[in-house]
Amino acid sequence: MRRFRIGLTARVLAVLVVLGVAVFPLYWMIVTALTSNADLFGAEAQLLPDFSEFGVFIDALAEGKATGWLLNSLLIALGTTILSVGLGIPLGYALSRFSFRGKAVMTLVLLFTQMLPEALMVVPLFSLFRRFELLDSLTGLVLVNSAFVLPIVALILKGAIDGIPRELEEAARVDGARPFKVLTRVNVPLIAPSIAATAVISFFHAWNEYVFAVTFIFTPDKQPASVGIANFIGELGTPIQTIMAVAFMFTLPAVAFYLFAQKYVVAGMTAGAVKG
């Protein structure tokens, strides 16, 4: 019993330490945002927020720019998630269940695309987007983010479908189900945890993306929050409290989305790694 209590105490302390490390950046953003200039640059660090300075959040939202940036980020992230997962499901199913010439090469190509840095693709993509009039467009960002995240989504879902017994699909075909119906009625419900995991990956990739956003978007009103926050940094002055307030609001939706889907993430990533 004593060993059990010691082990339980150690696990609880470990969880609290990890939780503290994860939550501390959010707490420090709040403290910094709610600290006056006199205290912010004072000799002693302020460890507690001063809620009398809460007006910085109201001012950031009242100006309208931060609200627009957050909305643009949300539209880009949701669009990327829907498009990449929507295309990744049939692609993963095809790689898992169908045999065709070049299948192994295609799988390797999808894997190798994850080794390409975004900065390497900026110039050719800029030329391509200019030709198709996708510059300064949220649609263009959705397309390019989906193209970068789609391979990993497809590979994860392929691994998840590999773990589904073929007998289930054969039974559905015996009942007269066509391939699309087999995919939607049999496979999709069984790989729901993996779909949730890939949705989280897609959402975070698009939500935090900066290189393409700062290169392809010119109009300030169309910029996502990842670019808008950087614009606060000025040559003569930088409003640190405003930056931290907007950064905190920028972080919350991503954290909320992860907390909503986190129970599926571990199971989904594990299922997608069983077979390759």
Q: Is the pLDDT of residue 269 over 60?
A: no
What does the DSSP assignment read for 149-164? HHHHHHHHHHHHHHTS
pLDDT digits (tens, 9 = 90+) for 15-39: 889 888 888 888 888 888 888 877 8
Alpha helices in 98-137 (DSSP H): 103-112, 118-131
- C-beta separation of 115 from 96 below 8 A: no
pLDDT band, very low/low/confident/very high, at 236 (cuts 50, 70, 90): low
pLDDT band, very low/low/confident/very high, at 272 (cuts 50, 70, 90): very low
Q: Is the pLDDT of residue 264 over 70?
A: no
Q: Which amino acid is at 1?
A: M
Percent of the chain with pLDDT over 90: 33
Q: Which amino acid is at 255?
A: V
How does 212-243 read in b/e, with b if 16+ C-beta sit within 10 Å?
bbbbbbeeeebbbbbbbbeebeeeeeebbbbb
Percent of the chain with pLDDT over 70: 92
- Residue 85 tokens read as 């997962």
Q: Is 202 exposed, middle or buried (0-12, 13-18, 19+ CB in 10 A)?
A: buried
What is the number of other CB atoms lying within 10 angstroms of the CB of residue 58? 10
Residues 6+ apart with CB under 8 A from 215: 122, 126
CA atoms within 13 A on the CB side of 210: 7
- Residue 256 tokens read as 């909320």
- C-beta separation of 247 from 29 below 8 A: yes
Predicted pLDDT at 210: 93
Contacts 24+ apart (CB under 8 A), 256-259: 257/200, 257/203, 258/200, 258/204
- Residue 178 tokens read as 């066509």
- C-beta separation of 224 from 74 below 8 A: no
What does the DSSP assignment read for 135-193? TT-HHHHHHHHHHHHHHHHHHHHHHHHHTS-HHHHHHHHHTT--HHHHIIIIIHHHTHH
User: What integer is the mean pLDDT of 85-105?
Assistant: 89
pLDDT digits (tens, 9 = 90+) for 110-142: 888 888 888 888 999 999 999 999 999 999 999
- C-beta separation of 51 from 36 below 8 A: no
Domains identified in the chain and CATH numbers: 1-53 (no CATH), 60-271 (1.10.3720.10)
Say how far apart CA 239 and CA 201 lie, in whole Å.
32
